[in-house]
Amino acid sequence: MADDAETDEDEPVVELGEAAPVEGQPLARVAARLTWPHEVSRIDEQEGDSVIRTPSGPQPVSEVLDDVDETYLDSRQAFVTAVRDVVGTGPVETE
């Protein structure tokens, strides 16, 4: 193991800078708070006010659920898939 005081001068130094804030919370966090199976209307009642991170910016769960075609989701994965079908996948916008 290398000594902490030693540094290899051949390795590049990467400065991270200040973190850009990301609005909303991860979809997985919202999904983890729910129990399964669940009706979409009950998910809206429980988590509709939560704001999730999406590739097009933060969106309330209730707005996303309005576009979900299913009325009943039998698993966490079914919920995540249904939401991702509506909002898409990709990098999340930052300020």
Contacts of 3 (CB under 8 A, 6+ apart): none
Mean pLDDT of 11-40: 83
- Domain range list for the chain: 27-87
Q: pLDDT by residue (tens digit) across 67-88?
A: 999 999 999 999 999 999 999 9
**Which tokens sit at 67?**
């576009």
pLDDT of residue 35: 92
- Is the Cβ–Cβ distance between 28 and 52 less than 8 Å? no
Strand segments, DSSP code E, in the chain are 38-39, 51-52, 59-60, 72-73
Q: Has residue 2 got a pLDDT over 60? A: no
pTM, full prediction: 0.75
Residue labelled with tokens 């996948």: 89
Adjacent-strand bridge partners of 51:
60
